[in-house]
Every structure is written in structure tokens, then in C-alpha cells.
Amino acid sequence: MANFVAKVRNFLAESYDELVHKVTWLKYSTLQNQTILVLVASLIFALIIGFVIDKGLEEGLKMWYKSTK
């Protein structure tokens, strides 16, 4: 059990060291700009995909109802 605790403690210490000293963090302004870019791109793709699905279903249902008359 002591060996397990030592391994966990070592893992946490190494993880902390890596996060604090070895990871390159983005500047806050860069992070904000990239987040806004991702949100806008996601919104555009969602609108395009939603429009395509809506029109596809609309045309498919029109064809379905025309064929059942």
C-alpha cells in the first residue's frame, strides 16, 4: 500500500511540475480570439447543415406525398 501511495504522490508531483514549468499556455487574448472563432464557425456550420437537412426533408416529403396520391 505504501508503494501505491508513493506512486500516486510521484505522479501528482510530476504532473504539477509539467503543468507549471513545461506547458506553454496561450495568452488570454489569444484564447479569447480562438474561442470566438470556433463559436462563429460552429454556428455557421450548424446553420448550413440545418438548412440542408431541412430542405432535404422538405423535398423528400413533397416527393413522398406526390407519389401516394
**What is the rounded CA–CA span in Å between residue 39 and residue 47?**
12
* 15-27: pLDDT as tens digits: 999 999 999 999 9
**What is the rounded CA–CA span in Å between residue 58 and residue 67?**
14
Q: Taking residues 8-19, report their average pLDDT.
A: 96
Please tell me which residue, 14 or 68, carries the higher pLDDT value: 14
**What is the rounded CA–CA span in Å between residue 6 and residue 2?**
6
Phi/psi for 19 (5° steps) reads -65, -35
pTM of the entire predicted model: 0.58
The confidence score (pLDDT) of residue 45 equals 97
The confidence score (pLDDT) of residue 1 equals 82
State the average pLDDT for the chain.
94
